[in-house]
Structure 1
Amino acid sequence: MEQVNLALGAMGFGSQVDKRTAFDLLDRFIDGGGTLIDTANCYAFWSDPNGAGGHSEKVIGEWLAKRPGLRDRVRLSTKAGAQPVGGGQWPANREGLSASAIKTAAEDSLRRLRTDHVDLFWTHMEDRSVPLEETAQALALLVESGTVARLGASNHPLWRVERARHIAQANGWPGYTALQLRHSYLSPRPWAKVPDQGHRFGWVTDEILDYVVAHPDVALWAYTPLLNGSYTRDDRPLSEAYDHPGTSRRLAVLTEVAAELGVTRNQVVLAWLAGGVPPLTPIVGVSSTAQLEEALAGAALVLPGELRARLDAVA
């Protein structure tokens, strides 16, 4: 089975998606050539009456425990830094990125995932109350201990990522080699507020793309690539932030390309992301087998050069 450049987003597993459905989706994802499973220690605290996360990691851990030998076929990606701790309002009460918080978060994630290591460990959001040196060293210790294979930064401003990478390099420590940000074929107006945007620095920009091209050791993962269903579902309209001429022009070309290929607009978007320059790894959250099959086919789709050029040419 050929591997596909797609990460299965497990945010809703154990909360919006029940355990049995999650198990079925995970099984089908692996059978369909998927290997990357993305979660976080804080998923999904906003759905829990007590405001606690960890649901997604627990489900994945139970799934792995019931399938001996499967761990070597999957690459687990999880995050730390945004889990609520104690009282107060989020995000003020998040665990942050101190050395002790990172150590505790990693240990707790391993326990819930029922594994001795994770393949990619992300800092979920920046923490300016902690020196970058402290965070960088704590992350390096995870790699050096074998607990973590690689390090990534999600929703961080690029200048902070670059500074952290420089600190790691200067000290001979392993540093960030992946970025996780929001990206899709459509973009909102500059400075417009998107209702579910979540993080101020959570967007792929032209500077980010240029940075990844110039630094081949840095991978780029894209979340919310399908805009929560807005490309294909009438009941999920785009927010007002996307109301500009560029959206209309891009949707028109996207629709034409999808029709010519006999696929959905979602599948064209995933193919455009996964096969572009630089190539991105789309993260897709699903709640049904039909959605997963569509995503797997989209990530495996190779866009002809002429069609990709048409998509790229629309400002």
Structure 2
Amino acid sequence: MADTKKIGDLDVFPLCLGGNVFGWTAGRERSFEILDAYAGAGGDFVDTADSYMASAPGNSGGESETIIGEWMESRGNRDALVVATKVGRHPGRPGLSAPNIRAAADDSLRRLRTDRIDLYYTHFDAPDVPVEEIMTALDELVAAGKVREIAVSNIEPDRLQASLEFSEREGTARYVAIQPHYNLVSRDTYEGPRRDLAERHGLAAVPYYGLASGFLTGKYRPGAEVDSARAGRAGKHLETDRGRGVLAALDIVAEEQDAPVATVALAWLAAQPTVAAPIASARTLAQLPPLIEIARTTLTDDQLKRLTEASA
């Protein structure tokens, strides 16, 4: 059994399964298979959002939550899971006004077929809404038992600091986690003021794009064609010296560890200050084992240094 990580009062598996492919590149049946395999390997931490996957043809938003809710109901395993979802980007529930937060939470609870959300993120900040309104609305959800812990994703450091200060001053529920864009080829999106705030206030980081849209799996190589909806986004890293240098370093460490490149990339992320559990998604069963393996992978100091220097 893998050691669990702490996010507020939540104990979680060290790899969070991303639900952003459910209802998009993974249909309902395949999503169930991936969720079954993840849970079967000891995984218990699933991340989604009310807006997933509104952008896919024929979708309207909430499809990922619906699939996860149907899966939990069919398996009867809700109490064994930590479910995270987000508010603010659903096409029908945009923004972070207090009425919208309340209504969106109820919508998510219905789609997830549950009575509580374990970890509730503000998906993207809404600078036009005072932090006092946002934090008070989230506090009301916690007091009502609809949400266990609250967290934040995409936000500027000054707004994050103001939110944390309001919670401390007023005694409301406070953010326990931050979900930043963070990986070996995107470090300044988190390292710096955001991470400094997380360290100072004891926030756990749950990074998204942990594999840089698949680039850090190692499948993107010069001349290689990859059949993926994210190929354009991931392939651009091959055009930079940094991207190619990171791949070369990953290859060396992966050989030393006798582990897949994706495992090594996530293991580096998991070893960084404040990080509790990186998020990674799988659209096929074959993509899942290298993700799960980070629960059993520890890089040496020299290996961490090699990767850190290559990605600087």
Q: TM (normalized to structure 1)? A: 0.86
CA distance in 1, matches of 2:155, 2:118: 20
Residue 296 of structure 1 corresponds to 292
Q: Is the CA contact (8 Å cut-off) linking 2:237 and 2:244 kept in structure 1?
A: no
Alignment match of 1:27 (pick from 32, 36, 40): 36
CA distance in 1, matches of 2:207, 2:70: 26
**What residue is the counterpart of 1:82 in the other structure?**
89
The yes-or-no answer on 1:221 pairing with 2:206 is: yes
User: Residue deviations 1:101-123, cap 9 Å, x none?
Assistant: 00000001001101110110001
Change (3 A) 1:305 1:205: closer
* Structure 1 residues 185 and 299: alpha-carbon distance in aligned structure 2, compared to 1, 3 A threshold: farther
Say which of 70, 73, 83 aligns to 1:65: 73
Aligned residue type for 2:191: T
Task: State the 1:275 CA deviation.
Answer: 2.3
Percent identity at matched positions?
33
Correspondence list, 1:205-244, <5 A: 205-216=191-202, 218-231=203-216, 232-234=218-220, 235=226, 236=231, 238-240=234-236, 243-244=239-240
Correspondence 1:177-256 to 2 at 5 A: 177-187=176-186, 203-216=189-202, 218-231=203-216, 232-234=218-220, 235=226, 236=231, 238-240=234-236, 243-256=239-252
Higher RCO (CA 8 Å, separation ≥ 6 residues)? 2
Aligned length: 291
Paired residues for 1:111-190 under 5 Å: 111-187=110-186
Contact 2:26 2:284 in 1 (8 A): no
State whether residues 50 and 90 of structure 2, in contact with CA within 8 Å, keep that contact through their aligned partners in structure 1.
yes
Within 2, Cα distance between the matches of 1:292 and 1:239? 21
Structure 1 residue 207, shift from structure 2 partner: 2.5
Report if aligned partners of 1:161, 1:176 keep a CA contact under 8 Å in 2: no
Q: Partner residue of 2:9?
A: none
Q: Does 1:269 align with 2:255?
A: no
Distance 1:186 1:152 in 2: 24
Q: Distance in 2 between matches of 1:306 and 1:249?
A: 16
What is the SS of the residue equivalent to 1:181?
coil
Matched, 1:16 2:12: no
Deviations 1:271-298 (A, max 9, x none): 1111232334211111111111111013
Question: Does the 8 A contact of 2:14 with 2:294 survive in 1?
Answer: no
- Mapped partners of 2:295, 2:190: distance in 1: 19
Q: Residue type of the partner of 2:17?
A: L
Once the two structures are superposed, residues 113-156 of structure 1 have per-residue CA deviations (whole angstroms, 9 ceiling, x without a partner) of: 01110110001111122222111100000011111111111111
Report Cα offsets for 1:208-262 as digits up to 9, x if no partner.
223322232x011111111222232232474546744333333322211111111
SS of equivalent residue, structure 2 residue 94: coil
1:50-108 deviations in whole A, cap 9, x for unaligned? x510101111111111122x1111000000101112xxxxxxxx611011000000001
Higher alpha-carbon deviation: 156-165 or 227-236: 227-236
Worse overlay, 228-237 or 266-275? 228-237
Kindly provide the amino acid, as one letter, of the partner of residue 35 in structure 2.
Answer: L
Query: Over the residues paired in the alignment, what is the CA RMSD in angstroms?
Result: 1.9
The residue identity in structure 2 corresponding to 1:206 is G
- Structure 2: give runs of 5+ residues left out of the alignment: 5-12, 221-225
User: What is the TM-score when the length of structure 2 is the normalising length?
Assistant: 0.87
Alpha carbons of structure 1 residues 242 and 172: separation in structure 2 relative to 1, 3 Å: farther
Aligned 1:271-290 pairs, distance under 5 A: 271-290=267-286
- Could you say what secondary structure the match of 2:106 adopts? helix
Shift in Å at residue 310 of structure 1? 2.3
